[in-house]
């Protein structure tokens, strides 16, 4: 049995999420069915993180165990052929140690949120970004975001469906910057709560359009109450961009 680590890129739009769902297609289902078609083996995919319906990934790390002998390159090519036309691609494939685990060996995760700050409707980027028509003050958003960096009880920014045992997380990095007509929000932590990034982005957008004072983000955090949340940003603009592992 060989453990293969795969790096996946996917468009989350057609899927109900990364993990298998009883009520619709998932990235996990697409990959596991591709492995079955290539190897004849039923496998379980394990991933570095979870993504909701509509959330995308630039480099999600996953692993599968396969008994049939394959080189990494041959497996990657075969899986990509079988995954078509699903919007999932294997960008990299490598053999790893039996005790390497895509989820439990991961020591850091990074997300990017893309806001198209323009009045004109989205065409090429529809479903790939959140459009905010009102001008955003990205500097105010960045200042407000710093109140969330560090170890906190993130109950306010946690989905009511979150299954994490504790709402306490350590946010290592949260930055807001502008790139032309785009406002980009980057977040890094060892792990995140369900909807944490989208909830943080929603509140920062409230600051950006002037509906919230900068201090209200800190006040919402201190409230430890989901009712204090200003807005939960849509999934369209959220991307899983990186998983960090020791030695990499």
Look at residue 162 in the predicted model and tell me its pLDDT. Answer: 85
Look at residue 128 in the predicted model and tell me its pLDDT. Answer: 97
Give per-residue pLDDT as tens, 48-79.
998 999 999 999 999 999 999 999 999 999 99
Domains of the chain: 2-96 (3.30.70.580), 108-244 (3.30.70.660)
Per-10-residue mean pLDDT, the chain, length 248: 97 94 92 97 96 96 97 97 97 97 98 98 97 98 98 95 91 98 98 96 98 97 94 96 93
Are 178 and 116 in contact, with CB atoms under 8 Å apart? Answer: no
Q: Of 108, 118, 183, which Cα lies nearest the Cα of 145?
A: 183
Look at residue 160 in the predicted model and tell me its pLDDT. Answer: 85
* Residues tagged active-site: 52
Q: Of 110, 114, 109, 108, which Cα lies nearest the Cα of 201?
A: 114
Look at residue 221 in the predicted model and tell me its pLDDT. Answer: 97
Rounded Cα distance between 60 and 27, Å, is: 11
pTM summary value = 0.95
Q: Of 192, 213, 80, 220, which Cα lies nearest the Cα of 143?
A: 213
């Amino acid at each position: 049995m060989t453990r293969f680590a795969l790096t996946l890129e996917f468009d989350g739009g057609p899927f109900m999420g990364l993990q298998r769902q009883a009520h619709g297609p998932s990235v996990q289902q697409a990959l596991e069915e591709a492995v079955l078609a290539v190897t004849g083996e039923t496998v379980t995919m394990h991933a570095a993180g979870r993504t909701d319906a509509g959330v995308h990934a630039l480099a999600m790390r996953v692993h599968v165990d396969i008994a049939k002998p394959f080189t990494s390159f041959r497996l990657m090519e075969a899986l990509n052929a079988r995954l078509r036309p699903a919007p999932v691609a294997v960008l990299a494939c490598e053999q790893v140690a039996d005790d390497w685990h895509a989820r439990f060996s991961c020591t850091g995760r990074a997300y990017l949120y893309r806001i198209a700050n323009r009045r004109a409707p989205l065409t090429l980027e529809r479903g790939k970004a959140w459009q905010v028509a009102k001008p955003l003050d990205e500097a105010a958003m960045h200042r407000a975001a710093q109140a969330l960096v560090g170890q906190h009880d993130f109950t306010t920014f946690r989905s009511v469906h979150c299954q994490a045992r504790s709402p306490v997380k350590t946010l290592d990095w949260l930055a807001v910057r502008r790139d032309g007509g785009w406002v980009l929000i980057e977040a890094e932590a060892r792990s995140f709560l369900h909807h944490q990034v989208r909830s943080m982005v929603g509140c920062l957008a409230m600051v950006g359009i002037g509906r919230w004072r900068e201090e209200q983000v800190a006040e919402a955090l201190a409230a430890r109450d989901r009712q204090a949340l200003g807005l939960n940003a849509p999934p369209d603009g959220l991307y899983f961009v990186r998983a960090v592992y020791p030695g990499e």
